[in-house]
């Protein structure tokens, strides 16, 4: 019997080597005269924002450009931006950046003119209605945020990252242009790329996996697994960058259809308490969680190993799944993601608090096919220390 599921995604996706040129066509088609352009300081420093603005320069539109978005955004930042932009009658928002910028833009689109704050919409489907149309232009590959109904914010006081999930957060248009991702620093290429792979891996092995998730999730892993090392070693390789953008977009669709599992659940407290970037925290937990999951997911891992081209079907299920775990270790190691938790101020004394915090992320833990109790979670954090 197939799982019941619902699936919706961004309104339109424009992808290709010069996809950014489509921005002017979108603005014209929407007859938008007042546009809010959002980005963050590091992205703005690369000239990406200026280059996109040049594409709409001749359209007689009024643009407000704000490039002060804080990465891994705290909830109070969203409140401040809501107050700052309140009452403005923007007809379109254009977001240029990684998941942090896209998430803030998705939230502002529904919050700018709303009588409620971000704290009122934490959880699932709490946003009462649609916001301002949004063009999402990712510069990392990535979170897949451009096609997900999710936004993630940090509750600073509670040291916790929380998700806001609503179909009203889905962008109206998405532009996937690989040239926008070539200036990512190597660690950002590496960590966001591993995050994208994890989105697909967790979704296809989730309790909620379904035909849509499997179709996009498997294809996403096939694209990302060979493309990430190339994008990391040769940052200007536009084919690898394009495969990464497509893979991360498909990963976003996969997680929308099915949901991520234990890696994401355990990484939330590492981000919320210690500010470890989302992709780095996930990469640190990938192997410990999958070594635990192999007990239940051996068949799945054997299937994925063949799909991503690391072995043939002639090997036994055990051989293939063992190779898959070894390949995951190499995948993370080859792109030099730091594995040393102490580098981010985490000590073994923190394991208990991390364990308790992670055990509360039941929205994602419930998706994990192999059930976890508190001692399993503790053991995975301990393993994350051991594999440094």
Ligand X SMILES: NC(=O)c1ccc[n+]([C@@H]2O[C@H](COP(=O)([O-])OP(=O)(O)OC[C@H]3O[C@@H](n4cnc5c(N)ncnc54)[C@H](O)[C@@H]3O)[C@@H](O)[C@H]2O)c1
Residues binding ligand X (CB under 6 A): 40, 42-43, 46, 71-72, 97-101, 103, 139-140, 142-145, 148, 150-152, 161, 180-181, 183-185, 188, 192, 252, 278-279
| 295's tokens | 């007990």
- The residue (of 32 and 75) whose beta carbon lies closer to ligand X is 75
In the complex, the smallest distance separating the C-beta of residue 140 from Fe ion, rounded to whole angstroms, is 11
Q: Is 224 buried (19+), middle (13-18) or exposed (0-12) by CB count in 10 A? A: buried
- The residue (of 150 and 205) whose beta carbon lies closer to ligand X is 150
Q: Which does 293 bind (CB under 5 to 8 A by kind): ligand X, Fe ion, none?
A: none
In the complex, the smallest distance separating the C-beta of residue 70 from ligand X, rounded to whole angstroms, is 9
Q: Which does 181 bind (CB under 5 to 8 A by kind): ligand X, Fe ion, none?
A: ligand X
How do beta strands 123-124 and 92-97 pair? unpaired
In the complex, the smallest distance separating the C-beta of residue 199 from Fe ion, rounded to whole angstroms, is 6
In the complex, the smallest distance separating the C-beta of residue 128 from Fe ion, rounded to whole angstroms, is 27
In the complex, the smallest distance separating the C-beta of residue 295 from ligand X, rounded to whole angstroms, is 26
| 38's tokens | 């959002």
Q: Which does 151 bind (CB under 5 to 8 A by kind): ligand X, Fe ion, none?
A: ligand X
In the complex, the smallest distance separating the C-beta of residue 32 from ligand X, rounded to whole angstroms, is 24
- The residue (of 141 and 297) whose beta carbon lies closer to ligand X is 141
Position of minimal CB gap to Fe ion: 195
In the complex, the smallest distance separating the C-beta of residue 265 from ligand X, rounded to whole angstroms, is 13
In the complex, the smallest distance separating the C-beta of residue 384 from ligand X, rounded to whole angstroms, is 18
φ, ψ for residue 35, nearest 5 deg: -125, 135
| Per-residue three-class SS string for the chain | CCCCCCCCCCCEEEECCCHHHHHHHHHHHCCCCEEEEECCHHHHHCCHHHHHHHCCHHHCCEEEEECCCCCCCEHHHHHHHHHHHCCCCCCEEEEEECHHHHHHHHHHHHHCCCCCCHHHCCEECCCCCCCCCEEEEECCCCCCHHHCCEEEEEECCCCEEEEEECHHHCCCEEEECHHHHCCCCHHHHHHHHHHHHHHHHHHHCECCCCHHHHHHHHHHHHHHHHHHHHHHHCCCCHHHHHHHHHHHHHHHHHHHHHCCCHHHHHHHHHHHHHCCCHHHHHHHHHHHHHHHHHHHHHHHHHHHHHHCCCCCCCCCHHHHHHHHHHHHHHHHHHCCCCCCHHHHCCCHHHHHHHHHHHHCCHHHHCCECCCCCHHHHHHHHHHHHHCC
Q: Which does 72 bind (CB under 5 to 8 A by kind): Fe ion, ligand X, none?
A: ligand X
- The residue (of 85 and 218) whose beta carbon lies closer to Fe ion is 218
Question: Does residue 279 contact residue 232 with C-beta atoms inside 8 Å?
Answer: no
In the complex, the smallest distance separating the C-beta of residue 272 from Fe ion, rounded to whole angstroms, is 14
What is the total count of residues that contact Fe ion (CB under 5 A)? 1
Q: Which does 139 bind (CB under 5 to 8 A by kind): Fe ion, ligand X, none?
A: ligand X
- The residue (of 147 and 372) whose beta carbon lies closer to ligand X is 147
- The residue (of 131 and 142) whose beta carbon lies closer to ligand X is 142
- The residue (of 203 and 359) whose beta carbon lies closer to Fe ion is 203
- The residue (of 161 and 242) whose beta carbon lies closer to ligand X is 161
Residue 195 binds to Fe ion (criterion: CB under 5 A): yes
| 100's tokens | 């942090």
- The residue (of 61 and 344) whose beta carbon lies closer to ligand X is 344
Position of minimal CB gap to ligand X: 98
User: How far is it, in rounded angstroms, from Cα 46 to Cα 370?
Assistant: 43
Residues 143-182, one symbol each (x = binds Fe ion by CB under 5 A, - = not), give: ----------------------------------------
Q: Which does 98 bind (CB under 5 to 8 A by kind): Fe ion, ligand X, none?
A: ligand X
Instruction: Name the residues that contact Fe ion, by CB under 5 A.
Output: 195
């Amino acid at each position: 019997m197939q799982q019941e599921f619902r699936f919706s995604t961004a309104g339109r996706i424009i992808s290709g080597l010069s996809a950014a040129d489509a921005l002017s066509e979108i603005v014209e088609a929407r007859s938008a005269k007042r546009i809010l352009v959002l980005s963050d300081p590091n992205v703005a420093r690369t000239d990406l924002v200026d280059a996109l603005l040049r594409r709409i320069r001749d359209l007689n539109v009024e643009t407000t450009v704000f490039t002060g978005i804080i990465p891994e955004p705290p909830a109070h930042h969203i409140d401040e931006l809501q107050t700052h932009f309140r009452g403005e009658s923007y007809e379109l928002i254009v977001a240029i950046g990684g998941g942090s910028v896209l998430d803030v833009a998705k939230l502002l689109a529904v919050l700018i003119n709303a009588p409620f704050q971000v704290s009122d919409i934490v959880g699932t489907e709490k946003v009462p209605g649609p916001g301002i149309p949004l063009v999402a232009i990712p510069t990392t590959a990535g979170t897949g945020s451009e096609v997900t109904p999710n936004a993630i914010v940090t509750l600073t006081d509670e040291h916790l990252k929380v998700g806001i999930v609503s179909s009203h957060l889905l962008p109206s248009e998405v532009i996937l242009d690989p040239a926008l991702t070539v200036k990512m620093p190597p660690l950002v290429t590496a960590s966001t790329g591993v995050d994208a792979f994890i989105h697909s891996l967790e979704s296809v092995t989730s309790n909620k996996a379904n035909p849509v998730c499997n179709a996009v999730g498997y294809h996403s892993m096939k694209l990302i697994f060979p493309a990430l090392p190339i994008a990391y070693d040769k940052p200007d390789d536009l084919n690898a960058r394009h495969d990464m953008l497509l893979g991360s977009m498909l990963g976003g669709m996969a997680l929308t259809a099915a949901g991520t599992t234990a890696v994401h659940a355990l990484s939330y407290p590492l981000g919320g308490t210690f500010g470890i970037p989302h992709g780095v925290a996930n990469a640190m937990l990938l192997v410990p969680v999958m070594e635990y999951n192999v007990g239940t997911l051996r068949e799945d891992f054997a299937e994925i190993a063949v799909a991503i081209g690391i072995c043939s079907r002639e090997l036994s299920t055990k051989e293939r799944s063992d190779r898959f775990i070894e390949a995951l270790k190499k995948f993370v190691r080859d792109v030099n993601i730091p594995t040393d938790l102490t580098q981010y101020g985490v000590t073994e004394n923190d394991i208990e608090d991390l364990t308790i915090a992670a055990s509360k992320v039941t929205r994602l833990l419930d998706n994990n096919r192999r059930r976890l109790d508190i001692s399993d979670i503790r053991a995975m954090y301990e393993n994350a220390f051991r594999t440094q």
